[in-house]
A and B are shown apart, each in its own frame.
Chain A
Amino acid sequence: MRYALLVCALGFGAGCAVRYPLVVPVREQQFRSSDQPAALPLSAEARAEVANFLEHGGNRFGRNAVPDKQAEGHKQILDALADAGNLKIRADLATSDFCAIAAQLCQAAPIFRKRIAVTQVIDARSRAPEVPDPIAVCDDEYCWVFRQAANQLTQLVVMRSVWRAKP
């Protein structure tokens, strides 16, 4: 009974607590896959650049290769992003379900399933927020930030996440 009351109280508290939208800050240069976002669909060169970034633990200037725990999932993402058919989105949906927005991409890259779409991407280099909003989706270690226009993903930059899984 006491446990039930505690759960109830916690649930009630969480419901009333002030909750703010998730934010993805753009990280410093070394933790971004490239200075300028790569055009989509990914060219072989752009794909190699992102792959190299991931192979170095999300440190563009890193000297040593680092094992990528999500290597299989990341490979699927890169494969999917090279195909224009996977870039169609529903940017007019008021949802935080990334796969509702980017259904085809999620189908080709299941690592994105059940991930949250974040539209509050903060880039201190910009004079003003971008319009339309970029859409970011984070896996366990990386945030994939997509620029979009006319219901298509158009550009990509990958960043090492501020939140990292426990070693």
Chain B
Amino acid sequence: MSLHTDLLRRLQSAARVQLVARLTDDRMNFPQTNELHVFIPDLHLITAARRLEGGYQYGTNYPDLLEAVVGQLQGLKTDAAPAGEVVVYQIGDLFDLWRQVDGLDPNANAASAIQNDHASLLKALRDPDLNAQFLLGNHDYDLYRFPNFDAWQRSYVLSPSVMLLHGDVFDWVEKLPDELQNLALFLFTKNPVGTADLEKMRPLNNKQRGGRKFKKFIQNQAPAPTGKWREMADDDGRNWNVQVEGTAPREMLLYLDEARQKCAEANSKFGSSLNVAVIGHTHHARIAVHDGADGFFALMDCGAWIENCSTADDPKPQANAQIAALSGNEARIYQLSPLG
């Protein structure tokens, strides 16, 4: 029994589970079978009143299901210890401050208002026994200013080879002047970025907002194509729906090159050996791989819990509700939907 199997059982007790993608490859260089890292991507929570007032087309999908899943993750973590370690991450854009308020009023209590409106979900996610780790996304970047959220990070390195970050940095990193390029590259190290660095990068983050309102969509005007999903009963344990550079459509490879390039830069500058990146941000669940003479690199985009996706079998929009996991050189993305 692996921790992947334990996780799947737990998820199946709370949700219908389909396999979006699986990559098993020793070249990921993340062999730890006694560690399971679970990634919950973008939720973009706002208050119900604000959604109505702002006329936002999209809200968070299946918050009750997610709360049940988080409860299962806590059970898994407890059961797995001490032989196994389960670490749960919410990888940014948990809150959508950009949609909740029009500008940053330092005392506007926007994060608290959202948290109060989704109290039971947030209580589960922020339970000290779950000890979930949180990343700041672009839509909740300003949380670093709030003491009750300032333990949140911009990136994590899962030693030895995995870079975990929200992914928005790839929107703008190539456009930066040298000084800020170095600052951005600092995200790709084990050192946590300090408040002063976050403050320096804040204008860049706000520039991305660019006055947009995000009423009709945030990332994807059309459902994100996710290839073919597999029912777990049909699963044969082999790689599934992996998008390989050279054969996969271009849209399935978004940020693969950028992530590979930045990890390579960090490897050469800081002596690391990063060759897997785990991101959210794009709301487009997929595993993409570069496999060439110059090396191997994998990008796992964990998807979202907002907006829609479609499969190759069924163009009908389906609510994004993905969760991803990594353990023992195996990465998986699941699509969840309510039971019954």
Q: Which residues of A contact B (CB under 8 A)?
A: 18-23, 91-96, 116-120, 122, 127-129, 131-133, 135, 148-151
User: Is B109 touching A96 in the complex (CB atoms < 8 A)?
Assistant: yes
**A92/B148 contact (C-beta < 8 A), A116-B107, A119-B112, A131-B122 known:** no
User: Is B47 touching A92 in the complex (CB atoms < 8 A)?
Assistant: yes
Docked pose: A128 CA to B117 CA in angstroms: 19
> Of the candidates B107, B119, B148, which one forms a contact with A96 in the assembled complex, judged by CB atoms under 8 Å apart?
B107
Least Cβ–Cβ distance between A141 and chain B, in angstroms:
21
Contact pattern, B 28-47, Cβ under 8 Å of A = 1, otherwise 0: 00000000000000000001
Q: Which of B98-106, B160-168, B244-252 lies at the binding interface?
A: B98-106
Q: Which residues of B contact A (CB under 8 A)?
A: 47-50, 100-101, 105-117, 119, 122-123, 126-128, 145-149, 199
User: Is B146 touching A96 in the complex (CB atoms < 8 A)?
Assistant: no
User: Is B49 touching A21 in the complex (CB atoms < 8 A)?
Assistant: no
User: Is A96 touching B123 in the complex (CB atoms < 8 A)?
Assistant: no
Contact residues in A for B127 (Cβ distance below 8 Å): 128
**10 contacting pairs across A/B (C-beta < 8 A):** A22-B106, A23-B147, A91-B116, A92-B114, A94-B50, A119-B111, A127-B128, A131-B122, A132-B116, A149-B119
User: Is B112 touching A133 in the complex (CB atoms < 8 A)?
Assistant: yes
> How many pairs of A and B residues are in contact by the CB < 8 Å rule?
86
User: Is B106 touching A92 in the complex (CB atoms < 8 A)?
Assistant: no
**A131/B123 contact (C-beta < 8 A), A20-B106, A96-B107, A117-B109 known:** yes
User: Is B128 touching A132 in the complex (CB atoms < 8 A)?
Assistant: no
- In the complex, the chain B residue whose C-beta lies closest to that of A89 is B116
User: Is B113 touching A91 in the complex (CB atoms < 8 A)?
Assistant: yes
User: Is B108 touching A91 in the complex (CB atoms < 8 A)?
Assistant: no
Contact residues in A for B110 (Cβ distance below 8 Å): 94
Contact residues in A for B128 (Cβ distance below 8 Å): 127-128
> Of the candidates A18, A19, A127, A133, which one forms a contact with B148 in the assembled complex, judged by CB atoms under 8 Å apart?
A133
Contact residues in A for B108 (Cβ distance below 8 Å): 94-96
Contact residues in A for B109 (Cβ distance below 8 Å): 21, 93-96, 117, 119, 133
**A132/B126 contact (C-beta < 8 A), A18-B199, A22-B107 known:** no
**A21/B119 contact (C-beta < 8 A), A92-B47, A94-B110 known:** no
User: Is A94 touching B113 in the complex (CB atoms < 8 A)?
Assistant: yes
> Of the candidates A22, A129, A148, A150, which one forms a contact with B126 in the assembled complex, judged by CB atoms under 8 Å apart?
A129
Contact residues in B for A93 (Cβ distance below 8 Å): 49, 109, 113
Least Cβ–Cβ distance between A138 and chain B, in angstroms:
12
Least Cβ–Cβ distance between A146 and chain B, in angstroms:
12
Q: Which are the 9 A-B pairs with shortest beta-carbon distances?
A: A96-B107, A119-B112, A91-B116, A129-B148, A94-B110, A127-B128, A94-B113, A92-B117, A92-B47
> Of the candidates A21, A116, A127, A151, which one forms a contact with B146 in the assembled complex, judged by CB atoms under 8 Å apart?
A21
- In the complex, the chain A residue whose C-beta lies closest to that of B144 is A20
Q: Which of B47, B113, B128: most chain A Cβ within 10 A?
A: B113
Contact residues in A for B117 (Cβ distance below 8 Å): 91-92
Contacts A92-B114, A131-B123 known; 4 new A-B pairs at CB < 8 A: A92-B49, A94-B47, A95-B109, A149-B119
Docked pose: A104 CA to B50 CA in angstroms: 22
User: Is A132 touching B147 in the complex (CB atoms < 8 A)?
Assistant: no
User: Is A21 touching B107 in the complex (CB atoms < 8 A)?
Assistant: yes
Docked pose: A117 CA to B105 CA in angstroms: 13
**A148/B148 contact (C-beta < 8 A), A18-B199, A94-B109 known:** no
Docked pose: A122 CA to B105 CA in angstroms: 20
> Of the candidates A21, A91, A150, which one forms a contact with B145 in the assembled complex, judged by CB atoms under 8 Å apart?
A21
Contact residues in B for A131 (Cβ distance below 8 Å): 115, 119, 122-123, 126
Contact residues in B for A20 (Cβ distance below 8 Å): 106, 145
Q: Which of A23, A93, A94, A119: most chain B Cβ within 10 A?
A: A94
